[in-house]
């Protein structure tokens, strides 16, 4: 399973960082606006001051308290009632700064008040980024480790540096992963050992059958045939259990890897199973990289499955067809095994790849132990391919084994 990488806008560290920066920027704007409003309000409402208007003779013609109104972009404005009933509007300019006290450069043009807030927001952003990024980097490490472990690499462990919640989560995950890996190893070891030990009594039973007198008739011959069939089925079960237990481990070796000619592999398997082979020429050679032994086993299991279920109502085996062709993207090959039996219901086309699953109504006398198709899927996945079941044209079922080709 490939790791899922979130788009840049959905990265956790960016979302946390932008949230912190946005919150501090809004706070800075709010504080600055309140501060500016308060300064202007204090300047406009200083107690103990009055505005007196006199004429040229020195007589008072208007008087009002010094409670001005701030006019945006124009300073303070005072309304002075006159003795003749009119109202005089007076705008007072901002008082000059004392000599030697110049404004800081960030309050001068072209920065001004907005520039000061912008510099504040920039400083907050630069200071918050490394803190947030350090936290989320550890979370991303946890995410990558969990994804690798979920993909089948049970040996993955998370870094436990630190003493916070992330370190505690990593420690708990490592403990759980170690327990699961130990249980899986024990299970596989028990399964492999039990399967290996079964071969000894199985060999003794087979030897006993070989020593039985030949040419017996009646019930004795029937018993001999039934025992022979059961021994063959048990031997196949042991072989497939051992192979499945080895392939289930993601780090287990597949044996000798080489260039595999898929056309030659299919021709050999079809000759042994008496199946019809069709090869679609054109495009690059159908050569894959992998284990010829395992790929041969996968194709043989598909052919055995087609022979087992590709019979008509009278029990007659219908023709089995094998197609070897390029996939639509031309970078992969498709090995298609087609039978003309009753087919597989659409709802069960995925379940038949589960270990030990049999289709409803399938008889044990038809053979098979329910591991053949499961092994095909495991072998395909170990070769970075896949297998699927479809409805065959004209009735029946077809299994498509897809494998990547060598460039």
Please check the confidence at residue 364 and state whether its pLDDT lies above 60: no
In angstroms, the CA 353 to CA 334 distance is: 18
Query: Residue 1 has what pLDDT?
Result: 37
Query: Residue 109 has what pLDDT?
Result: 45
Query: Residue 333 has what pLDDT?
Result: 92
Query: Residue 2 has what pLDDT?
Result: 40
Please check the confidence at residue 120 and state whether its pLDDT lies above 90: no
By DSSP bridging, strand 276-279 and strand 321-326 are: parallel
Q: Could you tell me what percent of the chain has a pLDDT over 90?
A: 12
Residue of higher predicted confidence among 137 and 47? 137
- CA-to-CA dists, residue 197 to 183, 201, 265, angstroms: 21, 8, 33
Cβ distance 316 to 378 under 8 Å? Answer: no
Q: Which of 55-69, 90-104, 264-278, 339-353 is least confident?
A: 90-104
Q: Name the region of 384 (left: φ>0; alpha: ψ -120 to 50; beta: rest).
A: left
Instruction: State pLDDT tens for residues 185-239.
Output: 777 776 666 666 666 667 777 777 776 666 555 556 777 777 777 777 777 777 7
SS3 74: coil
Please check the confidence at residue 93 and state whether its pLDDT lies above 70: no
Helix axes 292-309, 372-382, angle to 10 degrees: 150
The pTM score is 0.52
């Amino acid at each position: 399973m490939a790791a899922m990488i979130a788009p840049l806008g959905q990265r956790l560290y960016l979302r946390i960082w932008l949230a912190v920066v946005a919150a501090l920027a809004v706070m800075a704007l709010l504080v600055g606006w309140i501060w500016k409003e308060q300064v202007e309000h204090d300047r406009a409402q200083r107690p103990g001051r009055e505005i007196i208007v006199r004429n040229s003779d020195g007589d008072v013609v208007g008087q009002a308290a010094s409670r001005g109104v701030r006019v945006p972009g124009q300073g303070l404005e005072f309304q002075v009632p006159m003795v003749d009933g009119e109202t005089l509007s007076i705008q007072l300019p901002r008082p000059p700064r004392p000599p030697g006290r110049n404004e800081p450069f960030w309050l001068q043009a072209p920065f001004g008040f907005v520039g000061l807030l912008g510099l504040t927001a920039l400083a907050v952003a630069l200071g918050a980024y490394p803190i947030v990024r350090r936290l989320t980097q550890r979370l991303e490490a946890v995410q990558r480790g969990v994804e690798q472990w979920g993909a089948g690499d049970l040996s993955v462990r998370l870094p436990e540096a630190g003493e916070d919640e992330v370190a505690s989560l990593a420690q708990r995950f490592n403990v759980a992963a170690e327990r699961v890996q130990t249980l899986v190893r024990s299970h596989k070891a028990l399964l492999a050992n039990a399967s290996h030990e079964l071969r000894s009594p199985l060999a003794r039973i087979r030897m006993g059958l070989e020593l039985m007198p030949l040419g017996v008739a009646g019930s004795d011959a029937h018993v001999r045939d039934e025992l022979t069939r059961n021994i063959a089925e048990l031997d196949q079960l042991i072989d497939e259990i051992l192979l499945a237990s080895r392939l289930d481990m993601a780090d287990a070796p597949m044996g000798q890897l080489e260039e595999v000619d898929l056309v030659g592999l299919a021709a050999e398997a079809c000759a042994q199973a008496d199946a019809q082979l069709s090869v679609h020429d054109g495009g690059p050679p159908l050569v894959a990289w992998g284990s010829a032994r395992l790929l041969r086993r996968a194709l043989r299991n598909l052919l055995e499955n087609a022979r087992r279920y590709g019979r008509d109502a009278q029990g007659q085996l219908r023709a089995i067809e094998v197609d070897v062709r390029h996939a639509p993207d031309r970078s992969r090959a498709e090995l298609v095994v087609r039978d003309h039996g009753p087919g597989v219901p659409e709802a069960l086309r995925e379940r038949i790849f589960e270990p030990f699953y049999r289709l409803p109504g399938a008889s044990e006398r038809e053979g098979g132990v329910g591991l053949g198709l499961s092994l095909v899927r495991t072998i395909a996945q170990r070769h970075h391919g896949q297998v699927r079941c479809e409805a065959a044209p004209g009735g029946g079922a077809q299994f498509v084994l897809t494998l990547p080709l060598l460039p």
